[in-house]
Amino acid sequence: MGHVARKRFGQHFLTDRAVIDAIIDAIAPGDDQAMVEIGPGLGAMTLPLLQRLPASSQPLTVIELDRDLAARLRKRGDLTVVESDVLKVDFAALAAERGRKLRVVGNLPYNISSPILFHLLGFVNHVVDQTFMLQKEVVDRMAAGPGGKDYGRLSVMLQWRYQVEGLFDVPPEAFDPPPRVDSAIVRMVPHAVPVALDEALLSELVASAFSQRRKLLRHSLGRWLEARGFQGEFDLQRRAEEVPVAEFVKLAQSV
């Protein structure tokens, strides 16, 4: 009996073979790697990944919330199945179990994609890279540079820790059922030498800056800085979307 996509899980199953092959090519599985797939679903990416993973690689780990799909995947016998909400998964523990950093891939549920990205941000030191299918609008925001409407809090909070690259778009017809939005593939590679700062402070600073993005920063971030007694120099006669990631990071280090 076929599996009916469940709306509450944001399930849209990838079926286009050419798109699947292009994603696996982009991931490029290699020797002796610890691969983790989020949301394997019916195995559209899982099975090609297994075929491409060399015998020297560790077993593919899949994280699936839907208990029916998890049970189906567990029957294969060649997967490590973690039946859980991905937002509750300890990726540091997974890396420790495998004795190496993780390569994380998946077709993420679009309804909770941002929470998943921020959850993984907390484990960035345990990750080699991340390759995900997401709503195209989200990928555009993740990879955006300053000066445009797509550039915002998500751009800054991810780019300070990752090199983010949108790879290619995926049309709705590649899925069953088709989503109402276009999709895209994104690659995220952690920066080799992370900047030392208080992530919570950066998050608060950036949220303040973009809280009134149509206004000059003196109306939002300026008040935030004043409340903290900031005495340094920072050009507040700009809008938040004009400030590069590096400047937000430097400011967070100075506050």
CB-based contacts of 60, cutoff 8 Å, min separation 6:
35, 36, 37, 46, 49, 50, 53, 78, 79, 80
Which residues pair with residue 134 across a beta bridge?
A: 184
Residue 119 annotated as lining a ligand binding site? no
In whole angstroms, give the CA distance from residue 8 to residue 6: 6
Residue 107 annotated as lining a ligand binding site? yes
Establish whether the linkage from the previous residue to 177 is cis, with ω within 30° of 0: yes
In whole angstroms, give the CA distance from residue 5 to residue 11: 5
Q: Which residue type occupies 5?
A: A
| Contact yes or no for 118/95 (Cβ under 8 A) | no
Q: What is the DSSP letter of 229?
A: T
Buried b (16+ CB within 10 A) or exposed e, 55-73: eebbebbbbbbbeebbebb
Residue 111 annotated as lining a ligand binding site? no
Residue 14 annotated as lining a ligand binding site? yes
Q: Please choose, from the candidates 189, 192, 198, the residue with its C-alpha nearest in 3D space to the C-alpha of residue 249.
A: 198
Q: What residues form the annotated binding site for S-adenosyl-L-methionine?
A: 12, 14, 39, 64, 85, 107
Q: What residues form the annotated binding site?
A: 12, 14, 39, 64, 85, 107
